[in-house]
Amino acid sequence: MADTAFNPYAEGIDHVELNPDAKSVHILDQTQLPNREIYKDVSTPEECYEAIKKLEVRGAPCIGIFAGYAMVVMAQPYAELPYADFKAKMAELSAYLNSSRPTAVNLSWALRRMEGVIAAHEGESTPAIIEAMRQESLAIHEEDIAMCRRIAEYGLTLVKDGDGILTHCNAGPLATSKFGTALGPILLGEEQGMHFHVFSDETRPLLQGARLTSYELAKAGVDVTCICDNMASIVMKNGWIQACFVGCDRVAANGDFANKIGTSGVAILAKHYGIPFYTLGPTSTIDMNCPTGDDIKIELRNPDEIKEMWYKEPMALPEVKAYNPSFDVTDHELLTAIVTDKGIVYPPFDVNLKKLFAEEE
Ligand code: MRU
């Protein structure tokens, strides 16, 4: 367990990495932040599943990167199997991992990519296929770094020095590879000598805004103020917010998007106060096979995360029910633009998202 001081922007330190022997994935356990920077290695299918489920690795792009590495690691015990058996075993393990969290599309996207490699290398030895999977998993990671960097560049054109920016949950380096999505423009601006005042919603119930976003921004020297989720309206009314930047877990073909629970409320407030509201995400988070937000499956989590997780004693009677959806869908009509690695997409989103992918072909 390496317990190094964590600087999300330093070269060479990463919060999700494939170990050199490809037998385990090295992760920073995000559930321990901000008080403990604990790294651990995960290798069995159950450990990989739990790492996603418990949010030790979290954030849509980061889950995708982790899933790629997990497939390589889980393949190791089956290097002796003939092709058909290996392919079937990996399909089973992929489905298992995919069942850990349903909302972020990057998980199934990365798993499909890894299964695609197995299909494309039919006829080669199983160790050679595993090596091709390793290469693919590293490529997923590298591509995410490049995509986040481009998102940061595009996003920075939307704000000016001194702006107040409100963000929800954590869409920083910890949720991706490096740079982050929603936090990317802020960090890039800071690197270029600009200064922003960031309001970080604490983000009930799992406190990603307090524990992770505030942590990342403070470490990077950005002026950050943590607020409870129900304080977004007052800071907007006070005139302290010039733009809202949030991440996304799945963008539907019409521009509706799922992100951490509470995001849609922030978007409604932003509309009320006339503040531009942006979601920022890589093209791997856009699901053109998902027509609208109604087609996005929302993860429901354990009610105890609301009732007792952060308290010395439970804050509701045992018989009190708690409803704990992990995400909500923001209607595309509340969205000013989607900032992607391929450019900024404005309404009409159904038309312009199609164009974005058509340009790729
Ligand atoms: O439940 P989490 O912590 O994985 O939720 C994360 C979010 O909702 C992020 O905003 C989203 O994944 C985008 S990360 C770049």
- HEC readout, the chain: CCCCCCCCCCCCCCCEEECCCCCCEEEECHHHCCCCCCEEEECCHHHHHHHHHCCCCCCHHHHHHHHHHHHHHHHHHHCCCCHHHHHHHHHHHHHHHHCCCCCCHHHHHHHHHHHHHHHHCCCCCHHHHHHHHHHHHHHHHHHHHHHHHHHHHHHHCCCCCCCEEEECCCCCHHHCCCCCCCCHHHHHHHHCCCCCEEEEECCCCCCHHHHHHHHHHHHCCCEEEEECHHHHHHHHHCCCCCEEEECCCEEECCCCEEEECCHHHHHHHHHHHCCCEEEECCHHHEECCCCCHHHCCCCECCCHHHHCCCCCCCCCCCCCCCCCECEEEECHHHCCEEEECCEEECCCHHHHHHHHHHHHC
Sign for the pseudo-dihedral over CA of 347, 274, 265, 327: positive
Report the C-alpha gap between 252 and 332 in whole angstroms: 9
Q: Give 175 Cα–ligand 1 centroid separation in angstroms.
A: 6
Q: What is the pLDDT along the chain (361 residues), one digit of tens a residue?
A: 334 444 555 444 589 999 999 999 999 999 999 999 999 999 999 999 999 999 999 999 999 999 999 999 999 999 999 999 999 999 999 999 999 999 999 999 999 999 999 999 999 999 999 999 999 999 999 999 999 999 999 999 999 999 999 999 999 999 999 889 999 999 999 989 999 999 999 999 999 999 999 999 999 999 999 999 999 999 999 999 999 999 999 999 999 999 999 999 999 999 999 999 999 999 999 999 999 999 999 999 999 999 999 999 999 999 999 999 999 999 999 999 999 999 999 999 999 999 999 976 6
Q: Which residue, judged by its Cα, is nearest atom 10 of ligand 1?
A: 247
pTM of the predicted model as reported, rounded to 2 decimal places: 0.95
Q: Give 30 Cα–ligand 1 centroid separation in angstroms.
A: 12
pLDDT for 246 equals 98
pLDDT for 5 equals 44
Instruction: Say if ligand 1 is within 6 A of residue 58 CB.
Output: yes
Q: Give 326 Cα–ligand 1 centroid separation in angstroms.
A: 10
Instruction: Say if ligand 1 is within 6 A of residue 175 CB.
Output: yes
Instruction: Say if ligand 1 is within 6 A of residue 279 CB.
Output: no
State the closest ligand 1 atom to the C-alpha of 58, by its place in the atom list counted from 1.
4
Q: Give 184 Cα–ligand 1 centroid separation in angstroms.
A: 14
Instruction: Say if ligand 1 is within 6 A of residue 113 CB.
Output: no
Q: Give 128 Cα–ligand 1 centroid separation in angstroms.
A: 34
State the closest ligand 1 atom to the C-alpha of 60, by its place in the atom list counted from 1.
12
Contact between 200 and 186 (Cβ < 8 Å): no
State the closest ligand 1 atom to the C-alpha of 326, by its place in the atom list counted from 1.
1
Annotated catalytic residues are: 249
Instruction: Say if ligand 1 is within 6 A of residue 251 CB.
Output: no
Contact between 152 and 40 (Cβ < 8 Å): no
Q: How many CB atoms lie within 10 A of CB 153?
A: 15
State the closest ligand 1 atom to the C-alpha of 299, by its place in the atom list counted from 1.
1
Instruction: Say if ligand 1 is within 6 A of residue 101 CB.
Output: no
